């Protein structure tokens, strides 16, 4: 991966890991003190919000389950796919917050389930196709947008943080290329 975007993209992932997410306690757990902070107490059946990295550990330990609407599901992905397909080629629809991270988690979950069950494998294939379409539709728009000499701030509002990083990187690269090529005209005799 290009070093110019790798670190900002990792920062996006870290930001997602620190966002609060809804979960439901599967069992009671007293307050647990860790280095510098504490989690809990949790009461079975109640809903809580925790940072994603803490929530993952609680789910892995069987203490809680992610709330159903906290992540991507097939119907959400299909709706986004449909919206992207009918969207004007020069404008962006708004994606849900944390879209790419949620998509990554959703696809990993489907892939794991698909290795055990053919029905889930079929859903994985269809979801992967939808995800690739969404990414490709948006990628084409980002490349076109980055190639414009000037862009209004309104045009960038619907970009996700990851897309903004890509846009800035492409814009800088295209600008450097444009400067170099136009500078070559001065060398002609």
As annotated, the residues of the chain forming the CATH 1.20.58.2050 domain(s) are 71-189
According to the model, what pLDDT value does residue 34 have? 82
| Topology (CATH) of 71-189 | Methane Monooxygenase Hydroxylase; Chain G, domain 1 (1.20.58)
Contact present, 163 and 142 (Cβ < 8 Å) = yes
Q: Is the pLDDT of residue 50 over 60?
A: yes
Taking the C-alpha atoms of residue 134 and residue 91, their distance in angstroms, rounded to an integer, is: 14
pLDDT classification of 3: cutoffs 50, 70, 90: low
User: Model pTM?
Assistant: 0.79
According to the model, what pLDDT value does residue 1 have? 56
3-state helix, strand, coil in the chain (%, to 5): 60, 10, 25
- Look over the chain and give the mean of its residue pLDDT values, rounded to a whole number: 88
- CATH 3.40.50.10540 assigned to 1-68: no
Among the ranges given (47-51, 67-71, 74-78, 182-186), the one the predictor scored with the smallest mean pLDDT = 182-186
According to the model, what pLDDT value does residue 184 have? 65
Contact present, 147 and 130 (Cβ < 8 Å) = no
According to the model, what pLDDT value does residue 139 have? 96
Read off the pLDDT of residues 81-96 as tens digits, 9 standing for 90 and up: 999 999 887 789 999 9
- Mean pLDDT along residues 45-62: 89
As annotated, the residues of the chain forming the CATH 3.40.5.50 domain(s) are 1-68
Contact present, 50 and 60 (Cβ < 8 Å) = no
According to the model, what pLDDT value does residue 15 have? 85
The residue whose two tokens read 């080629």 is: 89
């Amino acid at each position: 991966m290009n070093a110019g975007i790798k670190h900002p993209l990792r920062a996006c992932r870290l930001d997602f890991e620190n966002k609060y997410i809804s979960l439901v306690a599967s069992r009671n757990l007293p307050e647990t003190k860790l280095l510098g902070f504490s989690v809990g107490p949790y009461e079975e059946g109640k809903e809580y919000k925790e940072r994603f990295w803490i929530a993952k550990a609680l789910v892995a330990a069987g203490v809680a389950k992610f709330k159903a609407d906290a992540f991507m599901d097939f119907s959400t992905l299909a709706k986004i796919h449909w919206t992207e397909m009918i969207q004007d080629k020069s404008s962006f629809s708004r994606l849900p917050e944390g879209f790419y991270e949620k998509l990554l988690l959703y696809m990993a979950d489907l892939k794991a389930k698909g290795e055990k069950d053919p029905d889930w494998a079929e859903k994985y294939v269809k979801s992967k196709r939808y995800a690739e379409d969404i990414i490709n539709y948006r990628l084409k728009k980002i490349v076109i947008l980055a190639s414009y000499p000037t862009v209004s701030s309104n045009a960038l509002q619907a970009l996700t943080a990851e897309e903004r990083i890509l846009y800035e990187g492409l814009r800088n690269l295209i600008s450097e290329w444009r400067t170099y090529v136009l500078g070559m005209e001065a060398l002609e005799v």
